């Protein structure tokens, strides 16, 4: 299995995602840069995780205003099963009322204003689309 962290989805990933019906829970596996790196070249003492935290605090407001919920966030401390070249730093689960709600949020002006912190802080991430169900 090949695992490839990204910061933005490939266009071919958006089509199937938008077809997902009903509420979706996104499992976010996050890998942070040691130091935040802003595209505009601004100087900062922020770590990647701190920059991402600025984004996450505002993103929570956007998600909750859409009817979504931040369900879970935790530091990754090791792997019991499986192996990867580089472990993730944080896992989070965010529920959106629909796939369209996530697309609408990520296309909005408020999102574009805060995304600079996300991109500055992330080395990469995996977003796994899930729907509630039983094991």
Q: What's the pLDDT at 104?
A: 95
Residue 5 lies in a domain: no
126 conformational bin, left if phi > 0, alpha if psi -120 to 50, beta if neither: beta
From the list 134, 132, 124, 135, the residue with the least C-alpha distance to 28 is 124
CA–CA gap between residue 96 and residue 102 (Å, rounded): 6
Return the CATH number at 45: 3.30.70.100
Close Cβ partners of 73 (under 8 Å, ≥ 6 residues apart): 90, 91, 92, 93
Contact at 8 Å (CB) between 74 and 88?
no
Strands 24-32 and 69-75: unpaired
Asked whether residue 28 is assigned to any structural domain, the reply reads yes
Number of domains the chain contains: 1
pLDDT(6) > 80? no
- Gap between the Cα atoms of 109 and 66, Å rounded: 15
Model pLDDT for residues 77-124, shown as the tens digit of each residue: 999 999 888 899 999 999 999 999 999 999 999 999 999 999 999 999
Would 2 be classed as within a structural domain?
no
What integer pLDDT is reported at residue 54 of this predicted model? 98
Q: Does some domain include residue 135?
A: no
Greatest CA separation found in the chain? 47
Is residue 3 a part of any domain in this protein?
A: no
Least confident segment among 1-10, 44-53, 81-90? 1-10
What's the whole-number mean pLDDT along residues 57-62? Answer: 98
Is residue 1 in a domain? no
Q: What domain range is 90 assigned to? A: 11-130
Residue 4 lies in a domain: no
In a domain, residue 105? The reply is: yes
Q: How confident is the model at residue 7 (pLDDT cuts 50, 70, 90)?
A: confident
């Amino acid at each position: 299995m090949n695992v490839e962290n990204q910061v933005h989805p490939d266009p071919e990933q958006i089509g199937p995602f938008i077809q997902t019906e009903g509420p979706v829970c996104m499992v976010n596996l996050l890998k942070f840069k040691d130091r935040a790196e802003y595209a505009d070249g601004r100087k900062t003492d922020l770590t990647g995780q701190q920059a991402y935290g600025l984004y996450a605090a505002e993103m929570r407001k956007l998600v909750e205003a859409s009817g979504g919920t931040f369900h879970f966030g935790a530091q990754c401390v090791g792997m019991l099963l499986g192996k990867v070249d580089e472990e993730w730093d944080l896992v989070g689960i965010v529920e959106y009322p629909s796939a369209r709600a996530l697309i609408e949020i990520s296309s909005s002006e408020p999102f574009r204003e805060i995304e600079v912190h996300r991109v500055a802080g992330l080395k990469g991430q995996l977003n796994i689309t899930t729907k509630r169900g039983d094991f």
